[in-house]
Amino acid sequence: MVFFAIYNSPLGPIVLESDGEALTGLRFGEGKTPTTSSLPIFDEVTRWLDDYFAGKQTENAVMLKKDALNQKNVARIIVLPKGTAFQQRVWQALLTIPYGKTVSYGELARMVGCKSAQAVGQAVGANPIALFIPCHRIIAAHGQLGGYAYGQEIKKQLLEWEKNPTETSAMVTRW
């Protein structure tokens, strides 16, 4: 069963998805509003998003296999994105990119041992859990923004947010 919640961010509504235990989806956007549920994972995600949009440096999520959900002392949000083995490898590499830093598609390709930055770009674009798996931190060669599933303006705002969190959080009011 899939559960949903809506988080009203300064950049617009964010739809959260869960299997009841882990975060399985996070996307910006409007459209059909799903029936929302109240779950402990959504409470944790909301706290993380509140910190993120308040300009506090947040830690990356932890991507675990379903059978690892019972691990003790996991303090970070557990994400379980669905994808191919290659996509999973790329998404795991995204989790190593620190808050406020960016990496090019080519650098990410080298990190995962792939010769094709284009293949890596496609895996990045298929990321079902934005922000927590920080695909917005991947940029094109020579510092250009590159693409983003939710538009370049949101990507630009997220990168600026992380570069100058206190200035940006003071400028944006909750949507």
Q: What is the pLDDT of residues 92-110, one digit of tens each?
A: 999 999 888 999 999 999 9
Q: Flag whether 175 is in a domain.
A: no
Same domain? 88 vs 64: no
Per-residue tokens: 100: 């406020």
CA dist., res. 144 & res. 126, Å (int): 20
Q: Flag whether 75 is in a domain.
A: no
Q: Flag whether 174 is in a domain.
A: no
Per-residue tokens: 90: 């790329």
Q: Do 163 and 98 contact (CB within 8 A), yes or no?
A: no
Q: Flag whether 173 is in a domain.
A: no
CATH number, domain containing residue 105? 1.10.10.10
Strand partners, 9: 12
Q: How many domains is the chain partitioned into structurally? A: 2
Q: Which value, in Å, is the radius of gyration of the alpha carbons in the chain? A: 16
CATH number, domain containing residue 10? 3.30.160.70
pLDDT tens digits for 131-166?
Answer: 999 999 999 988 889 889 999 999 999 999 888 766
Instruction: Report which secondary-structure segment, H or E, holds 1.
Output: none
Same domain? 97 vs 152: yes
Same domain? 111 vs 162: yes
User: Of the candidates 65, 58, 28, which has an alpha carbon nearest to the alpha carbon of residue 44?
Assistant: 58
DSSP 136: G
DSSP 32: S
Give the range of the structural domain holding residue 13, as residue numbers without chain letter: 3-68
Same domain? 32 vs 99: no
pLDDT tens digits for 38-79?
Answer: 899 999 999 999 988 888 877 766 665 544 444 544 446 788
Residues with a catalytic annotation lie at 135
Count of H-run helices and E-run strands, the chain: 6, 7
